[in-house]
Structure 1
Amino acid sequence: MEMSLETVDEVIIDPAYLQTLLRRVVLSECLLLLSWDCSPLGKIKGESSVYRVACTTLDNQIEQKHTLILKLLKSDSLRDQVDHYHYWKREALIYESAILRQLPFGIRAPICHAVEEHPDDTVWIWLEDIAIEDIQSDEWSFEQMCKISYLLGTYNGAYLTGTPLPAESFLCRNWLRSWVEVCTAYAKPIEKHQVIWDSCLNDCNGTSLIWELYLRNRNRVNSLLDTIEKLPRVFAHQDVHWENIFLAQQDGTASLIAIDWQFASISGVGEELGRMFGYALMKNKIPMSKIEMYKEELFQCYLQGLRDRGWLGDYKLVRFGFIASASLRFILVMDKLVGSLTEDKGINKEKSRHLLLVAQTLLELAEESWELVMGNTARGDDQVLHER
C-alpha cells in the first residue's frame, strides 16, 4: 500500500514510522497501517500541542482500530534552563526516564511509547490514549476535590516514608521560587500598581487594607520561600487541576491518573495541595462563600492521606506548606486585578470583583503563613519553621 506523509497544523506524520510504532505497541510484526486521522485536543499553545491519532490497521486479515496521543513540545530559549519551573523539555525527559513507571501505588501516568527529537527543535511524545473524556469533569465538585486531596496526600506521603526521591537533574528543585520570580518579572512595578489602585479603588471600603497587606507581604516573599524550601521533600506533579488529574480505580480502590508532567518537581510537603487550591480559587472553582470550608476540609483530607501512608510528622509543617504556597499566588492575582481595573475603569465588572476577593483571600493566607513562622520562632520549636 502506498502512503504519503500527512500534515495536520504543521505536524507531519511519517506513516512508515507510525506503522512501526503501532507494531511495537500492539506486539504484532504483521500489522499494516491502512489509514489514520490526526485531530487536535484542546487549545494549541505556543509551547505545546496535543493530538489524537486514530489509526485503522489490518492484522492477520482482521481490521482493527487503535488510537495514540501525540504531544509536541516546542523549544523555547526563555525556558531552556533545568531550574526553570516550566523547562520546555522536562516532560519529554521524564517520560524517557523510569520516574513515571515507578510512581507509588494510587497514581499513574499514561504509558509512553516513544520520544522523538526532530530537526525543527520540537520533541514528540507518543503516549497511551486513556480517553480522559470519559472521566473528565469540568465541574470539579467539592467531593471530587476532597478525594483528590486525600490521594495527593497518599502520593506525596510515600516519599516521606521510604520511597526514594527521583534524583534526575532535569527535575526542578525550587519550583515555587522560579514561578514567583517569573511572575514578579512579568508584573508591573509596584509604583504603577499603586497609581492604578488609587485611581480606581480610593472610594471602595476596605481596599486600603488590602493594599497594606499586599505591600507587607511582598516584603516577606523571600522569607516564605526560604522556609518552604526547608520543608520535608516529596516528588510533586505541581499542576493539579480538572484538566490534568482524574479519579479512577486501581485494583478496586480509588486512584489518580495524572497527565501533563511538565511542572514535576522536588517540592515541600503541602505545596502540591497549595498549588491546587490557589489555582482553583482563581479559576472560580471554589465558591467565595465557602472558601474557609474548602480550605480546612481539603487540608484535612490531604493530611489524612499522609497519615494513612504512614507519615507521622508535625502537621504544622504540612499546614505551612499548603497555606504559604497557595498564598504566594497573590503576586499573579494582584497584577491581573490591576490590569482588570484598568480595562474596566473600576471595580464594577464581575471579573474585577472576583479578582479582588481572591486577592484578599490569598493575602490573608499569606498573613496566616507568616504567623506560623513567627509563632514557631517565638516558641523555639519546629526547626524548619524557625528559619526566617
Structure 2
Amino acid sequence: MLGSHEATMQWSVPGLLGGAALAEVLGHPVDENATGLEVVPYEFGSPATGCLLRARGRRPDGHEWTAFVKVLQHVRHWPMLQFMPPHLAADFVEIFPWREELTLWDTQTTSHLPPGLRPPHLYRIVELGDDRVAVWCEDVDFEDDPWNDGRFARAADLLGQFGARRCHPDVTSPYPPDFAMQKWVQSLPIRALGPLQDDTVWGHPLLADHADLRAELLAAAPLIPQVMARFATLRHGLPHGDASPQNLLVPRDGSADFVVIDLSFQTPAPLGTDLSQLVVGLAHAGQLPVERLPSVEAAVLSGYRAGLAGTDLPPGDDDIEYAYAGNLLLRSGFTAIPYERLADPEAGPLIRERIALTRFILGSARAHLS
C-alpha cells in the first residue's frame, strides 16, 4: 500500500476528476483554493483497491465539505501479484472482476435494498484511464461504538431481507453459481493446505502445542468438495459478498440502520453465506474477542431467519446454518492462522487469537455441517 506521502504525491484533486469541475462533481459550489487530499488508512489486501482518499475543503460561504474517493484498479496493478505462482497470477488477472464494487449503485442492487439499508450517496464515477477509476461518494459519518448482539441481529435481519430479494429471476449475474467460491477453493492448496501439511511450520513454538487443531484441520480438508457439492443444491441469490461489520456503517444522522459499502464475490451463492463474514469479521480484524463469537453467531442466525420470514420468498431448498458454516470453513477456517507471520517476534498475540478463531470456526463446522 502506498504511504501517505506517496499516495498524495500520486493523486491530486484535478487528477481524480477526469477533466470535470469539482463543483460539478460534488453538486455544490467550492472554494477552489481551499481543497486538499488525505490518505485513509486501510488493511491492505483487496487487489482492486488502489488507494482510499478523503477530499476536503470549503464552500465559498466558509462551510466545510468532505468526500470519500476510492481508486479502483485492474489487478495487474496490484503489487502483490508478483508473489503469486505465475499460472495462478495469469488466471487471476484474467478473471478478477475489479470493477464489481460499482454494482453497489446498479439498480439491481439499489432496487432490492430493504428499508434500513442504503449505499453511500454517489457523486460520480470517473474513468482515469489505464484501467483505473475514481469513485467519488459520500464521506459517511458513522458510529464507531462496539457492536452488541442486538446490532448483529439487526444487520443479519436486513441481510436476510436483502438476500431474499436477490433470489428472484430479475437479478442476474454473468457468472455461474458459486463461481467466486470455486476460485477461492482452488487457491487453498497453496495458500493454506500446504502449510498445514508442513511439519516444520507446525513445529514452531506458537503452534507445537496445537497438534489437535492441526489434526482437525487436516480432517476437515476433505470436506471442501462435499461442501461445494451441497452448496449446489441450495437456493442461490446474489450476496453482499463481504458483509463484515466494517462494511456495514452505522450513520450518525439516522438516515438508515446501515450504509452498505464494498460489495464483492458478486456471483450467485446460497442464502446464508453472507453471515460468515458478519460473525467473524471483527474478530479477524482483532476488534472483537473470540469468546464473544458464540453469542454473536446465535444472534446472527436468529436475525437472518427473522429477516427471511418477513419476505415473500416461497418455500425452497435452503439451509441457512449449513451455508453459513460451510462458507465460514472454506473462506476462513483454513486461512485464519497467518503462517507468514510466524517469524515475527511481535506476532504472538495475533497468532494465539487466530488459533482461538480457528477453533471457533471448526466448532461451527461440527455443529452445522451434517
Q: Shorter-normalised TM-score: what interval?
A: 0.7 to 0.9
* CA displacement at 1:98 relative to structure 2: 3.3
Offset from partner CA, 1:98-153 (integer Å, 9 cap, x none):
34432322321123222222234321112123333xx234x223332222122211
Amino acid at match of 2:110: R
* CA displacement at 1:358 relative to structure 2: 1.8
Offset from partner CA, 1:154-175 (integer Å, 9 cap, x none):
2212234x5832x243798522
The 1:293/1:230 distance shift into structure 2, 3 A limit, reads same
Is 1:90 the counterpart of 2:84? The answer is: no
Is 1:332 the counterpart of 2:345? The answer is: no
Give the distance between the partners of 1:130 and 1:277, measured in 2 at CA: 23
Give the match for residue 80 of structure 1: 93
Give the match for residue 214 of structure 2: 211
Greater alpha carbon shift after TM alignment, 144-153 vs 314-323: 314-323
Give the distance between the partners of 1:237 and 1:358, measured in 2 at CA: 23
Amino acid at match of 1:20: A
Give the distance between the partners of 1:80 and 1:55, measured in 2 at CA: 37
Aligned runs of 1:287-302 on 2, under 5 Å? 287-302=289-304
Amino acid at match of 1:164: D
Contact kept in structure 1, 2:235 and 2:317, CA below 8 Å = no
Gaps of 5+ in 1: 1-6, 372-388
Greater alpha carbon shift after TM alignment, 102-111 vs 288-297: 288-297
Contact kept in structure 1, 2:141 and 2:251, CA below 8 Å = no
Secondary structure, aligned partner of 2:144: coil
Give the distance between the partners of 1:203 and 1:36, measured in 2 at CA: 54
Greater alpha carbon shift after TM alignment, 360-369 vs 310-319: 310-319
Give the match for residue 241 of structure 2: 238
The 1:225/1:315 distance shift into structure 2, 3 A limit, reads closer
* CA displacement at 1:253 relative to structure 2: 8.8
Secondary structure, aligned partner of 2:198: helix
Give the distance between the partners of 1:199 and 1:255, measured in 2 at CA: 45
Is 1:352 the counterpart of 2:351? The answer is: yes
Offset from partner CA, 1:77-117 (integer Å, 9 cap, x none):
344344x4xx322224x257434432322321123222222
Contact kept in structure 1, 2:193 and 2:334, CA below 8 Å = no
Give the match for residue 175 of structure 1: 180
Is 1:153 the counterpart of 2:160? The answer is: yes
Instruction: State the identity %.
Output: 13
TM-score by length of 2: 0.78
Secondary structure, aligned partner of 2:56: strand
Give the match for residue 222 of structure 1: 225
The 1:271/1:65 distance shift into structure 2, 3 A limit, reads same
Give the match for residue 79 of structure 2: none
TM-score by length of 1: 0.75
The 1:116/1:96 distance shift into structure 2, 3 A limit, reads farther
Amino acid at match of 1:174: F
Give the distance between the partners of 1:235 and 1:319, measured in 2 at CA: 17
The 1:229/1:175 distance shift into structure 2, 3 A limit, reads farther
Give the match for residue 35 of structure 2: 36
Secondary structure, aligned partner of 1:125: strand
Give the match for residue 185 of structure 1: 190
Contact kept in structure 2, 1:38 and 1:52, CA below 8 Å = yes
Instruction: Give the superposed CA RMSD.
Output: 3.6
Offset from partner CA, 1:185-227 (integer Å, 9 cap, x none):
33362575333324647973xx343222211211121221232
Give the match for residue 120 of structure 2: 110
Greater alpha carbon shift after TM alignment, 271-280 vs 216-225: 271-280
Secondary structure, aligned partner of 1:115: strand
Give the match for residue 136 of structure 1: 144
Give the match for residue 194 of structure 1: 199
Aligned residues: 344
Secondary structure, aligned partner of 1:37: strand
Give the match for residue 362 of structure 2: 363
Give the distance between the partners of 1:298 and 1:194, measured in 2 at CA: 37
Contact kept in structure 1, 2:70 and 2:135, CA below 8 Å = yes
Structure 1 or 2, whichever has the larger Rg, is 1
Give the distance between the partners of 1:187 and 1:216, measured in 2 at CA: 14
Amino acid at match of 1:38: L
Give the distance between the partners of 1:33 and 1:313, measured in 2 at CA: 57
The 1:171/1:123 distance shift into structure 2, 3 A limit, reads farther
Gaps of 5+ in 2: 1-6, 77-88
Secondary structure, aligned partner of 1:72: strand
* CA displacement at 1:258 relative to structure 2: 0.8
Contact kept in structure 2, 1:145 and 1:298, CA below 8 Å = yes
Give the distance between the partners of 1:200 and 1:230, measured in 2 at CA: 42
Give the distance between the partners of 2:144 and 2:265, measured in 1 at CA: 20
Offset from partner CA, 1:258-302 (integer Å, 9 cap, x none):
112244443210000022223334334454434333222221111
Give the distance between the partners of 1:342 and 1:24, measured in 2 at CA: 48
Greater alpha carbon shift after TM alignment, 293-302 vs 7-16: 7-16
Contact kept in structure 2, 1:157 and 1:234, CA below 8 Å = yes
